[in-house]
Structure 1
């Protein structure tokens, strides 16, 4: 995937090559020199950008990370611009009160945040940004032109494969949201869940919007849903909302261990269909 994706990226960059400047006998020496200087500068900038883009590409599409990246994720073939009002409407009903009660020293992490639109909406609602909680947006790949404001240091963007991110160094979260995000798309569900639960403070809350039957765990020739699997894990309090797609998961104890799972089947859809089995 690294070779294919990077080569496509470089071909894309080369399509923007700077054209040559022609001249005729009427051009003055000064004008010719200026034209050549402009051309040289443009070529140098283009080369530098290609090197930088290739380096970024290599960082994202490493062999270690490729296993977690579906074609749909790599190409951003899903909604990346959900507003806060959509989160408030679509997540478990308790989310609205929980997010409103966060204090300035608390933390909201959004997994699969797209362009961080929901968190930006939320931060904009604070006239005094010092009173806003910290917000971290986890996005696999942002548009090259997109660079949101930090909102006085309150918003942080983490870009790349979540499974490879150094999450133990992050500030612990009081709320984590995932709206058809990382936990719906990852191939390594148990690892991503472990990282997420470890990121939560005690009594912290994870709000999921999931397709309840898209993910199944096969145990002793029987299939259980993701909700049933989560309810079986000691230390997690799992509550459904007004629909089975809305899950509120509260961390009720520390040192929770997520049972390791092995991917049995993965069909790349939106979200993907995944079947796991317990890992021996």
Structure 2
């Protein structure tokens, strides 16, 4: 619903711009006619041919109007390109939740099996993640945020075959029910949450984790990046890691910086300096996508407020968050 309202607003805004342009163009035309009539009168008074003056005075006016129409058309195209752009935090939240509730994204990614569009957990999250996952013993705990249909956790637990007791605890979190009855019946150390956003699940309900995976999960869709990241930090044990594959969905605006921070290394650097108690690293990802690793280094982690500046509805949405003045001294 929020997207529909926004599209309507964009259309109305575009219409206002076009009407304004027409009015301005009309005003310019009337002014040109007035100047032409004045030239005609002046030409007649001096015995000159009026029509040549009229033609010469109309030419620049027509060119100016054509230039104005061209600029307005380009602006209208820009409005259409960004009709999903939301700058109001409440509207961004509504749009973000609408995308998740609509379940309009890839939900079938395996640990080693790629989805139809390509990319398994091993492909996207990399060897460092896979090595840490495989090193978890029966006392370890992996949480898969945004598990979709649970293909990755199913592949992982199935690998333990007849020795399910050797598997670490595994928790799958998804908004829609992933229908993992088989895992619930087979593995007593498997748990899942669905029907809620991760930030609304009390941290006390989730056992402390050694490893969190977020492959185009909550951190790629949320309007409240700081809240979700703080929840991850609260759930992780000291020394635990969260791997977040964000693609190109995230950018930051830092005080005094002329351009947005978008690359993995720049994002990691800005967040690493701003977050207390957590180390942030950029890992190698295909096609210049963003893959970040968050390591909990202290018991208490403080993620600064990151108010949302813009939200462009897509899969995943493109969002810009602002590192405020309170952390600007540590960022620069």
TM over 0.5: yes
Note the residue ranges of structure 1 that are not aligned, 5 or more in a row: 2-62
CA shift for structure 1 position 152: 2.3
| In structure 1, C-alpha distance between the alignment counterparts of 2:97 and 2:183, rounded to whole Å | 29
Q: Deviations over 1:147-186 (max 9, x none)?
A: 4431322221111211211123311000000001001101
Q: Paired residue for 2:168?
A: 133
- What is the match of residue 12 of structure 1? none
Shift of 1:69: 4.1
Shift, 1:230, TM fit: 2.4
Structure 2: unaligned runs, 5 residues or longer: 2-89, 113-119, 327-332
- Per the alignment, residue 271 of structure 2 pairs with 230
User: Does 1:249 find its partner at 2:286?
Assistant: no
Paired residues in the alignment total: 217
Q: Distance in 2 between matches of 1:88 and 1:170?
A: 25
Q: Superposed, which structure 2 residues align to 1:1-280 within 5 Å? A: 67=94, 69-85=96-112, 86-127=120-161, 128-142=163-177, 147-150=181-184, 151-159=186-194, 160-212=196-248, 214-222=249-257, 223-225=260-262, 226-232=267-273, 233-243=275-285, 244-278=289-323
Report if aligned partners of 2:272, 2:279 keep a CA contact under 8 Å in 1: yes
Cα distance, 1:236 vs structure 2:
2.3
Q: Is the contact made by 2:220 and 2:317 (CA closer than 8 Å) also made in structure 1? A: yes
- Cα offsets for 1:45-73 (capped at 9, x unmatched): xxxxxxxxxxxxxxxxxx9xx74843321
Question: Secondary structure of 1:247's partner?
Answer: strand
Q: Deviations over 1:100-137 (max 9, x none)?
A: 11011111001111011101110000021111011111
Distance in 1 between residues matched to 2:242 and 2:229, nearest whole Å = 10
Looking at structure 2, the residues matched to 67 and 134 of structure 1 have their Cα atoms a distance apart, in angstroms, of 33
Q: For residues 97 and 205 of structure 2, what CA distance do their matches in structure 1 show? A: 26
Q: Which residue of 2 aligns with 1:29?
A: none
Q: Tell me: CA distance 1:235–1:92, structure 2 relative to 1, closer, same or farther (3 Å).
A: farther
Q: 1:220–1:200: structure 2 CA closer, same or farther, 3 Å change rule? A: same
More displaced 10-residue stretch of structure 1: 161-170 or 122-131: 161-170
2:127 partner SS: coil
What is the alpha-carbon distance in structure 1 between the residues aligned to residue 94 and residue 209 of structure 2?
Answer: 27
Query: Aligned partners of 2:126 and 2:102: how far apart in 1?
Result: 29
Select the structure of larger CA radius of gyration: 2
